[in-house]
């Protein structure tokens, strides 16, 4: 399965780190150390998060980034919308053959299916907050893959977001 991009994962990582360090501005270098990436990557993502009103950034000595909202008020859908360059989850191929029975109808069929999948993804992301992610990371409940996420959801009682 192909992935959208790592911007979403890095942004959630950074926001969870900021939730952990709520009382102090955090430099991009410190966040980059946690993500294990270059500080320039973090700064680019921070720009998108700042533009979306999710973080505030104080430049200069003693400056850094902090959450602009409470972790409970930042959904993963907010993060997705802030950092993904395109809202479209799936792309359709350009020009299928209109003389073919399949080619003449495939785009309309796929567009409907892809729209449903995108709506479902938005529903899931909208139901999880940075506070949820931070809590699960602190508990060490996430073990990767969909099975780990479902087990952690049940344990964390995330049904209150549904």
Q: Find the range with the poorest average confidence among 15-24, 56-65, 89-98.
A: 89-98
Burial of 129 (0-12, 13-18, 19+ CB in 10 A): buried
- Say how far apart CA 3 and CA 6 lie, in whole Å: 8
CA distances from 152 to 16, 142, 155 (A): 17, 6, 5
By three-state DSSP, how is residue 25 classified?
A: coil
pLDDT tens digits, 28-64: 999 999 999 999 999 999 999 999 999 999 988 888 9
- Say how far apart CA 30 and CA 120 lie, in whole Å: 34
Query: Which of 79-83, 88-92, 94-98, 111-115 shows the highest mean pLDDT?
Result: 79-83
User: pTM of the predicted model, to two decimals?
Assistant: 0.78
pLDDT tens digits, 142-155: 555 554 444 445 44
């Amino acid at each position: 399965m192909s992935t959208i991009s790592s911007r979403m994962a890095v942004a959630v990582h950074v926001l969870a780190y900021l939730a952990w360090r709520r009382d102090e501005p955090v430099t991009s270098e410190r966040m980059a150390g946690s993500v294990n990436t270059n500080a320039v990557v973090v700064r680019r993502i921070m720009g998108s998060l700042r533009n979306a009103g999710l973080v505030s950034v104080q430049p200069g000595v003693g400056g850094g980034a902090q959450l602009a909202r409470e972790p409970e008020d930042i959904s993963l859908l907010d993060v997705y919308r802030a950092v993904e360059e395109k809202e479209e989850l799936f792309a359709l191929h350009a020009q299928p053959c209109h003389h073919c029975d399949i080619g003449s109808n495939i785009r309309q069929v796929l567009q409907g299916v892809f729209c449903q999948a995108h709506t479902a993804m938005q529903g899931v992301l909208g139901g999880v907050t940075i506070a949820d992610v931070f809590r699960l990371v602190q508990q060490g409940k996430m073990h990767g893959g969909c099975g780990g996420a479902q087990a952690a959801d049940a344990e964390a009682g995330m049904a209150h977001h549904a």
